[in-house]
Structure 1
């Protein structure tokens, strides 16, 4: 078992995330808190349970903002997803969740993107808007540019958005153009 703590800073707005990642032989768990000053300020806690191959099984998102407290739970149901216990037919075939406030979930498809430069992985996601606590189907693509470099292309809800990504040897984001950069904690 290995546990690590990662921090990401938002580069587009004022915000910071702390994520604790635990990798065990048969499962992966992550617990994070994101604090952001955007839209009047909010705090979002998210808890992930993944299988050993980095496929999300569940994610729980809890939000506190000026409108109050909210909670959303997404759970894999065969080839689809349940949102707060209800099966969502519109999410059938969506391969992974994509939570708007963190680059952590980009690691799931990044780890499955073929390693050859010029290779791509298109996929449908269950896109979670963290501040709004909504879930909608969206499409995206990851284009491999090199061993630790990819291009993210949104083909769905944010059609036209693209960003270069730099990742570490584990497929975890170091730099996400326009949005996030990993920062080391100070001693």
Structure 2
């Protein structure tokens, strides 16, 4: 998986994330490149705190670097990043699933606010695709540059509470020292 960082096309596209401005109402950093680097650093800290294996840590850090790569093509949807990762030769289905679902908390939260909360079937499907602890830790890392901190992100907080309420987390998340 670390080969992704050596892929010439990925390196070019990752560097171009410097030109992708982020909404200052949602991010405290100016560009997507800086965001991804900060997410990777936060993910390394969370991985250590939560005693993730080396393999899990490596995958989550690669996720941090690659999760927003689709923005280089003008598309912020996670599937755009999945398509590019496939083009770079990423074949790890689990990694691709984490990219695909890394932002699922926002549309699910919006649906919840409209009285259309995702049902048990949707939650079971998600739980069958990814490790919910890893997904939730990544979602926390991905909000490293959230104004006021990750705990101020309503969609994320709803998702974490709902995953816990549904007993989908195999252990308690450690989020600070």
> TM-score when scaled to structure 2?
0.36
**Bigger proportion of residues as helix:** 2
**Please, what TM-score do these two structures have when normalized by structure 1?**
0.34
Greater RCO structure (CA 8 Å; 6+ sep): 2
